[in-house]
Homo-oligomer: A and B are copies of this chain.
Amino acid sequence: MPLGPEQQNEIASRRSETQPTRRATVAALEEILYEPFPVLDHGFVRVVDYMGDDAAVVQAARVSYGRGTKRLSQDQGLINYLMRHRHTTPFEMCEIKLHVKLPIFVARQWIRHRTASVNEYSARYSILDHEFYLPAPEHLAVQSAANRQGRGTVLDPGSAARVLELLRTDAERAYRGYVELLNEDVSGAPVDPERPGLARELARINLTLNFYTQWYWKTDLHNLMHFLSLRADSHAQYEIRAYAEVLLEVMKRWVPMTYAAFREYRMEAATISATGLAVIRRMLAGEEVTQETSRLSPREWRELMALIGR
């Protein structure tokens, strides 16, 4: 994520300016505003704006004239109540805007979250940077046998090196092709005046899916939590999870009460099926239950046993 001096100046310039505001303000988030947090090998997440705080959730839930909050413990209690009972609308009252640099294949998963606003850097209009994602060796793994859409064991160093070599060579070649197709330098002038340059919207199709793109992405706190509950989950692909983990830290700074409730009632909670609940009741009543007598499938049984520490 080495930003050029121009970009660093732009960021420093924004960080140096403060204005007085009557709005709800979160000091811990102001502290990191505009700063890029590195993710993967060339990506980043920057918070570029936000609206609201924990108190804004309380204020909306109470439809209050002022701040609407009472004692801190009461506010935490109300937020816990809203989270437990899935009263989700007060969490929509907070909003966050990010600038994200991410590989295209990650962008393709991310964009599936529809309740958000996006402005992506346009490769019809501009030229993409010479930056592509190469996994760290510890993230190169074989296809999982257990989970048809996941990773299994990590590759041995020799195999990993061969994989990286292949990925690097093909991406480099794709970018060379891209540049040759464009036939233009940074100023837009032809590199080889003897031949025409291809339209940008076409030249880009030669790039591989690990090239980086960037976008502004804005969503509300409710939808951010929905994103995090799916993408910070162990079933999510590692690369998008790396972004989700940074966003969890951002959320913790921004709305610490909501964050605590989110961990307790969503991230570390579990939904147990009707039959699963019956199994727990039977076990607590002293009955010896096995998978065969549980009426759960072998997979559901394993998952339930893992959950309840059996």
Q: Which residues of A contact B (CB under 8 A)?
A: 3, 6-7, 9-11, 13-15, 17-25, 30, 33-34, 48-52, 56, 59-61, 63-67, 77, 84-86, 89-90, 92-93, 95, 97, 99, 103-105, 107-108, 111-112, 114-115, 117-122, 124-125, 133, 135, 139-144, 148-152, 155-156, 159, 162-163, 166-167, 170-171, 173-174, 177, 180-182, 184, 195-202, 204-210, 214-216, 218, 220, 230, 235, 237, 263-265, 267-277, 280-281, 283-285, 297, 300, 307-310
Contact of A51 among B50, B155, B199 (CB under 8 A): B50
Given contacts A6-B65, A15-B22, A89-B117, 15 further A-B contacts (CB under 8 A): A10-B66, A13-B67, A20-B25, A105-B204, A122-B149, A124-B150, A142-B198, A143-B199, A149-B201, A150-B201, A155-B198, A159-B195, A163-B198, A207-B208, A268-B273
B117 touches A92 (CB 8 A): yes
Please give, as numbers and ranges, the residues of chain B lying within 8 Å of A163 by CB-CB distance: 181, 198
Q: How far is B280's CA from A272's CA once the two chains are assembled, in angstroms?
A: 12
A143 touches B198 (CB 8 A): yes
When C-beta atoms are compared, the residue in chain B nearest to A139 turns out to be B202
Q: How far is B216's CA from A283's CA once the two chains are assembled, in angstroms?
A: 44
A23 touches B49 (CB 8 A): yes
A49 touches B51 (CB 8 A): yes
Query: Measured between C-beta atoms, what is the minimum distance from A201 to chain B in Å?
Result: 5
B181 touches A143 (CB 8 A): no
B271 touches A270 (CB 8 A): yes
Please give, as numbers and ranges, the residues of chain B lying within 8 Å of A199 by CB-CB distance: 141-144, 150-152
Contact of A283 among B49, B170, B284 (CB under 8 A): B284
B196 touches A308 (CB 8 A): no
B124 touches A237 (CB 8 A): yes
B51 touches A3 (CB 8 A): no
Contact of A209 among B171, B205, B310 (CB under 8 A): B205
B13 touches A18 (CB 8 A): no
A63 touches B216 (CB 8 A): yes
B274 touches A263 (CB 8 A): yes
Main DSSP-derived SS at the A contact region: mixed
Query: Measured between C-beta atoms, what is the minimum distance from A26 to chain B in Å?
Result: 9
14 A-B contacts (beta carbon < 8 Å): A11-B65, A13-B66, A22-B30, A59-B216, A60-B216, A93-B97, A125-B149, A133-B205, A142-B199, A167-B205, A170-B173, A170-B174, A207-B208, A208-B208
Please give, as numbers and ranges, the residues of chain B lying within 8 Å of A272 by CB-CB distance: 269-272
Query: Measured between C-beta atoms, what is the minimum distance from A309 to chain B in Å?
Result: 4
A86 touches B230 (CB 8 A): yes
Known: A155-B196, A199-B141, A208-B206. A19 touches B25 (CB 8 A): yes
Known: A11-B66, A65-B10, A133-B205. A271 touches B274 (CB 8 A): no
Q: How far is B310's CA from A277's CA once the two chains are assembled, in angstroms?
A: 12
A281 touches B268 (CB 8 A): no
